[in-house]
Chains A and B, each alone.
Chain A
């Protein structure tokens, strides 16, 4: 029992040291550079306590839920040996988590207002809602595509480098042809897809697949799902821009 308590305390201390650097930076700059008294000291101290507690609980949750479930599903899929289902799972996980992401709606609305300003779409609620829906669907499909392709890549053992080089090549090409107003949105979309809950789960899934499928090296083949999922939205959104806005002049 005392052993378990000691272990928990050590992990709590770990979470404290993870967050401590931010605290040091903020306090040092406040004292030495800005030289003004701290606003709302009590709130800040209590908030810091919550950050440490929250991070501690989340890391415990990683190890009791998100990692094991990713690994177990990878094992069960590998045992079944049906490629279709696991590729479909990769797609569904990417699509579902992205379409439900609040940050996606924010970016899609921003893009719609830019498009309305540039008179690419009509400035009416109906056409703006349609544009937002189409863009959200495009981005969610792109992450689903990355999930499916990434899982297939692990199963087949295709090197990630091919995908990275082709992917960035296509992005550079698309940047030349894509309309100006969509480029910033496209790069923003690449950052949306890394939700705090999805990342541990798909990392565990990818590493699990690479561990259970014979002939795969977990280090070489198991990582890379996240890399693909931050690449495809940029590409898909630029193609979306070229289709809906026309080629840049």
Chain B
């Protein structure tokens, strides 16, 4: 019945993806011609692969925009709306921010942070490479789950911070101190990978939903403004995965150590 808008949306999205990929292709072709001066091997296979990337990403983004984002954003709005929070309170609209009232909001923050990170294509790519390079001693799914727990914790803490109204920099400074300590004590082989995961989590799937949650909370919690307090969730979502991956590596090293001693 309404198949035409779908096709329009996909064509538009493909067009955008094509523009994203053009600068990369031009750089690659330029360096192949000037610096490397060799034919690109398996050109047909690569061209087919690029088509898969363009179509895959284009279709993925349309699906997100038609299905996941509207429902997720609507849900974030409802879970942070004054009516919903008042219903929990029963005495009417809360006149001051009471962190205990926001149980469902925190649970949603945790679940949405966790689940969107698992579907993040850039994290999938990095995890596949980590498994290959470590010859299987790092499990791709295990890494993604660890990162997802980090993001989930970060987003929940970020939501709590907006409700409680504590200044952002306190958390950031504390977070970086923990990170600094971990960097000194964690196994050397995991550090680069851990810091890379911090950069890939704030990507296509996670950012729109988490941003909607932050702006919803900052607009509806009494005494907060979206301009001043809406930020920070994304910063947390890139800080805590690093802490989680380093922490996981430290714990598994501790567990492995006595066995090696025997």
Contact = CB atoms under 8 A, between A and B. Distances in A.
A56 interface: yes
Interface string A20-48: 01101110011001100011100111111
Contacts of A193: 199
A99 B126 contact: no
Interface string B44-87: 01111111111111111111111110111011001100000000
B28 A69 contact: yes
Nearest to B38: A76
Contacts of A77: 35-36
Contact of B63 (A51, A188, A197): A51
Contacts, number: 291
Contacts of B22: 100
Contacts of A48: 63, 67-68
Interface string A73-114: 100110010100100110011001101111000000000000
Contacts of B98: none
A142 interface: no
Nearest to A82: B35
A53 interface: yes
A77 B65 CA distance: 40
A246 interface: no
A135 to B, nearest CB: 18
Which secondary structure characterizes the binding site on chain A? helix
A92 B27 contact: yes
A161 B56 contact: no
B146 interface: no
Interface in B1-50: 6, 16, 19-24, 26-28, 30-32, 35-36, 38, 40-42, 45-50
Given A21-B118, A198-B24, A224 B67 contact: no
> How big is chain B's contact interface, by range?
35 or more
A201 interface: yes
Q: Which of B72, B108, B193 has the most CB of A within 10 A?
A: B193
Interface string A157-168: 000110011001
B153 interface: no
Interface of B: 6, 16, 19-24, 26-28, 30-32, 35-36, 38, 40-42, 45-68, 70-72, 74-75, 78-79, 104, 108, 111-112, 114-116, 118-119, 121-122, 124-126, 128-130, 133-134, 169, 176, 180, 183, 188-193, 195-196, 198-200, 202-205, 207, 231, 234-235, 238
A47 B68 contact: yes
Interface stretch (A1-9, A125-133, A213-221, A237-245): A213-221
A177 interface: no
A101 B16 CA distance: 10
B23 A227 contact: no
Interface in A174-215: 175, 184, 187-188, 190-191, 193-201, 203-204, 207, 211
Q: Which 6 A-B pairs have the closest CB atoms?
A: A47-B67, A65-B49, A54-B60, A57-B56, A50-B63, A58-B56
A100 B195 contact: no
Given A26-B68, A64-B48, A227-B198, A100 B19 contact: yes
B192 A219 contact: yes
Interface residues of A, number: 96
A247 interface: no
Given A160-B192, A191-B238, A197-B20, A43 B66 contact: yes
B189 A18 contact: no
B122 A196 contact: yes
A66 interface: yes
A232 to B, nearest CB: 11
